[in-house]
Amino acid sequence: MNDPNWRLPEVPSFDLTSTDVEHGGALPTSARSGIMGAGGDDRSPALAWSDAPEGTQSFVLTCYDPDAPTGSGFWHWSVRDIPASTTSLPADAGNPDAGLLPAGAVTGPNEVKLQRFLGAAPPSGHGEHRYFFTLTALDVPTLEVDADASPAVIGFTMLGHVLGRAQLVGVTSTP
């Protein structure tokens, strides 16, 4: 399947944009991984959204690479309990030391168990990878999950609370 969300229920969409990456465009070098040796800064792109569904009480943001050669993709980032009043995150909000997330937002662990944004790092020679930044509007103010809940557990827990979904896809490739 081409879209990693193909099994999720259809819900209304809303707008998610970035000044750092166009939908379907290349991720900036800053969004590549330094931790994983891909020559970047592990800097999450700036994101902004509008037209969230009526009744939104919070958001969940994830970044997922379905093209990773793992059999299950690769989760780069998850943030839950983003207040409904929030309409943007600045670049580097995925860096816990920067303190750029809104009060109450909780970053979960990525695939390497770091509670931060982990930049793109496709294996050499693996070709193009897609990075799905997905913002989900929920009808609850918080998700009742453990602090170390994986993005998959967060996705399962929020399933009955989804009001809408916005998505921005960036790409990167290796020679």
What is the reported pTM? 0.95
For the chain, give the mean pLDDT. Answer: 94
Residue in 84, 83, 89, 87 with CA at minimum distance from that of residue 44? 89
Q: 5 Cβ partners below 8 Å, 6+ apart?
A: 132, 134, 165, 167
CATH code for residues 15-172 = 3.90.280.10
Q: 57-66, pLDDT tens digit by residue? A: 999 999 999 9
- Mind listing the pLDDT tens digit for each residue in 137-153? 999 999 999 989 999 99
CA dihedral sign of residues 93, 97, 102, 107: positive
CA distance 158 to 110: 17
| Strand partners of residue 58 | 83, 138
